[in-house]
Amino acid sequence: MDPQHYMRLALELARSASEQTSPNPLVGAVCVKDGRILGTGAHLKAETPHAEVHALAMAGANSIGADLYVTLEPCAHTGKTPSCTDLIISSGIQRVFVASIDPNPSVNGAGIGLLKVAGIEVITGILQEEAEQLNQAFFHFIRYGKPYVTLKATATLNGRLSTQNGDSKWITSAASRTDVHHLRHTHDAILVDVQTVLHDNPFLTTRLPHGGKNPIRINLDRHLRTPNQRMLLQTAL
Amino acid sequence: MDPQHYMRLALELARSASEQTSPNPLVGAVCVKDGRILGTGAHLKAETPHAEVHALAMAGANSIGADLYVTLEPCAHTGKTPSCTDLIISSGIQRVFVASIDPNPSVNGAGIGLLKVAGIEVITGILQEEAEQLNQAFFHFIRYGKPYVTLKATATLNGRLSTQNGDSKWITSAASRTDVHHLRHTHDAILVDVQTVLHDNPFLTTRLPHGGKNPIRINLDRHLRTPNQRMLLQTAL
């Protein structure tokens, strides 16, 4: 029943949409009044409603006087639809609990500021660390203007990857290869050098037991040495 | 990405509405297509929409060809609103994953039967044990027609609760007293005998750090010996 309890649920909802909101961040929202959950929501896909919209729609008229828990500061920019900040104000929400501040220059405190101006109490910092961890790729991109990169490296004891005549076997374990496919599923793109394409002829697709999202495949090949027969070019995503 | 993954989320959503759905069971639902979550929902309160309604409303037209995960068999009886079974069929859902069968005589397999007749694939038994555990009070009530009872008992080494002149102190620890208030929060009613009311003069209310739901207070007092001044009668809920 404490604020962390509801924020943890909002984080869980946010996490449920992992790998499906890019380039947007993962966000969850929970609407609560008198210890009773009135609405829950998560942002599920770019260009579809934000988490707050789902949670407030579910709460309906009961949102008047209620608390709203959001894992990321509500947006403040009005586009095709009203901003979440406006929606929260017009829904009669009394208190807003925010886990992490949106570093996006178009928000970055503006959402919270507008809520306060409207007389809404705003409590920040609830489970902030978990919330920032959840969106580390998004935060990194906004802060540094660069993609968040995961490097996959393999090594052998003697530094060799194949025998003299090019024979080679998997260096990594089955668990590590499952990890790789999970990483492909959770990343927007995968980048290799043409040498990898020439020697390993990889698909670079996601092959998990129950499917998964394929990353965009980037092949650094400045002299266009990739032959047509490579798997990379033979498999459509 | 496996069925358990989505069912676990549905169970988490169901659990989030703990203590607020009685006399209805806790139910969660998740709508998924191509490894992408399209909608989530929980039943939040009796006489408000079922979990499936929220999840399918969030998914909208995308529900065509999607999978639906529900922690309890969908209802089959049409009342003021269409049954969830009808809604699932008209939403174009292709597969339904069900954790536990609804033992309620008005459902009890009928929901699943109607789905199958409509050509929908139904997969049962996913995380069934967790789902039944979640609604053990509901299942007990439906199966035996009796309330699910939690007995709170305290004991001392010598079997005495007070000194000869009636002096007494708490026997239980602070942790145990917090437990008691959590139990009050999660139960519909609390029952004591008039002797407890006369000797201890309890409030029988829920006093947790962040509030909570008060149970209905039942005092077994067949000779109407409870004086008006008792806390039980002096505190409105």
Structure confidence at residue B67 (pLDDT)? 97
Structure confidence at residue A229 (pLDDT)? 84
pLDDT tens, position by position, A112-164: 999 999 999 999 999 999 999 999 999 999 989 999 999 988 888 888 877 88
User: In chain A, pLDDT over 90 holds for what percent of residues?
Assistant: 65
Instruction: Check residue A62 and report its DSSP letter.
Output: G
Using CA coordinates, name the residue in chain B closest to A58.
B54
Whole-model pTM? 0.78
Is pLDDT of A59 > 80?
yes
Say how far apart CA A173 and CA A158 lie, in whole Å: 17
Task: Tally the C-alpha atoms within 13 A of residue A190's C-alpha that lie toward its C-beta.
Answer: 21
Is pLDDT of A9 > 80?
yes
User: Contact, A122 vs A116, CB < 8 A?
Assistant: yes
Average pLDDT over residues A12-25: 91
A45 to chain B, closest Cα gap in Å: 8
Cis peptide before B82 (omega within 30 of 0): no
Structure confidence at residue A60 (pLDDT)? 93
Interface of B with A in 144-203 (CB under 8 A): 185
A46 touches chain B (CB under 8 A): no
Return the H-helix or E-strand segment holding A175: helix A174-186
Name which of A1, A208, A209 is nearest B210 (Cβ-Cβ).
A1
pLDDT band at A27 (very low <50, low <70, confident <90, very high): very high
The count of residues in chain A is 237
Instruction: Check residue A26 and report its DSSP letter.
Output: P
pLDDT tens, position by position, B77-95: 877 778 999 999 999 999 9
- Chain A residue numbers with beta carbons less than 8 Å from the beta carbon of B41 are 40, 58
Interface of B with A in 58-117 (CB under 8 A): 58
Q: Is the ipTM of this complex over 0.95?
A: no
A27 touches chain B (CB under 8 A): no
Cβ count near A52 (within 10 Å) = 29
Q: Residue B30: helix, strand or coil by DSSP?
A: strand
Please list the ranges in chain B whose pLDDT falls under 50. none
Q: Quote the mean pLDDT of chain A.
A: 91
A189 to chain B, closest Cα gap in Å: 18
Kindly determine whether residue B40 and residue A37, on different chains, have CB atoms separated by under 8 Å.
no
Which of A26, A52, A54 would best serve as a mutation to test chain B binding (most B beta carbons within 10 A)? Answer: A54
- Chain A residue numbers with beta carbons less than 8 Å from the beta carbon of B210 are 1-3, 35
Residues near A132 by beta carbon (within 8 Å), at least 6 away in sequence: A100, A139
Active-site entry in B19, B47, B52, B132:
B52
Average pLDDT over residues A85-97: 97
What's the token pair of residue B98?
């069900």
Angle between helices A51-59 and A3-16 (to 10 degrees): 120
Instruction: Calculate the alpha carbon distances from A57 to A10, A114, A188, A193, B75 in Å.
Output: 16, 21, 30, 48, 23
Q: Check if B52 is active-site.
A: yes
B150 to chain A, closest Cα gap in Å: 21
Nearest to A69 by CA among A18, A19, A20, A4: A4
Kindly determine whether residue A45 and residue B36, on different chains, have CB atoms separated by under 8 Å.
yes
Structure confidence at residue B49 (pLDDT)? 93
Nearest to B32 by CA among B61, B60, B59, B4: B59
Structure confidence at residue B151 (pLDDT)? 94
Say how far apart CA A168 and CA B140 lie, in whole Å: 61
Nearest to A120 by CA among A82, A70, A78: A70
Kindly determine whether residue B40 and residue A16, on different chains, have CB atoms separated by under 8 Å.
yes
Nearest to B217 by CA among B232, B234, B230: B232
The DSSP bridge partners found for residue A205 are none
**Per-position b or e across A23-32, b if 16+ CB within 10 A of its CB:** ebbbbbbbbb
Structure confidence at residue B163 (pLDDT)? 81
User: Contact, A197 vs A231, CB < 8 A?
Assistant: no
Cis peptide before B23 (omega within 30 of 0): yes
